[in-house]
Amino acid sequence: MIAGVVLIDLLTKRWAAGSLPGRRVRVIPWLLHFTFTENSGGAFSMLQQGGALLGVVAAGAVVGLLWMLHKESATYEVVGLSMIAGGALGNLVDRIARGDGILDGKVIDWIQFPNFPVFNVADSSVTIGVAVLIISTWIHERRSIRIGPEE
């Protein structure tokens, strides 16, 4: 799953870089547009000059996620952790491959909804992976709660 997320992310970023610069494509008017941007910072364009720091954090996160995946066996947790790792790796590839130095490259973002920052497939994968983990934790906790007196 990790490799699939990275592959889809990199292919869509390559498409965006070749097709979208200088254009804004209306996919669903008033709802979804494709537009090419480059982000040197983190999520929601925070830490604009912190690309190298973000790259180190992402690399550490990927190592930690892979370690967790090695120990995890529950399906939902594996899916969530794999989506987060794939998204982190997808953006890390941009930071490594698209800069003059190591880890200072800009990340390609290209999906835009109204009143929301432009993002990419990797960002979506991280967000969905976190949601899967939250929901699976909630379901697991809910199942472990006993209602009524213990016997």
Distance CA 23, CA 43 (A): 23
Q: Is the pLDDT of residue 42 over 80?
A: no
Q: How confident is the model at residue 23 (pLDDT cuts 50, 70, 90)?
A: very high
Q: What is the pLDDT of residue 150?
A: 57
3-state secondary structure of 107: strand
Sheet of strand 107-112, all strands in order from the earlier edge strand to the far edge: 24-28, 32-39, 107-112
Contact in structure between 44 and 117 (CB atoms under 8 Å) = yes
- Given the residues 9, 94, 104, 109, the one annotated as active site: 109
Q: What is the DSSP letter of 134?
A: H
Place of tokens 């992402």: 58
Whole-prediction pTM: 0.84
Place of tokens 């982190």: 88
- Given the residues 94, 100, 104, 123, the one annotated as active site: 123
Q: Tens digit of pLDDT for each residue in 43-80?
A: 656 666 666 777 788 888 888 888 888 886 788 889 99
Amino acid at 127: T
Distance CA 34, CA 146 (A): 48
Contact in structure between 96 and 55 (CB atoms under 8 Å) = yes
**Any catalytic annotation for residue 94?**
no
Distance CA 23, CA 143 (A): 50
Q: Tens digit of pLDDT for each residue in 103-124?
A: 888 999 999 999 999 999 999 9
**Any catalytic annotation for residue 104?**
no
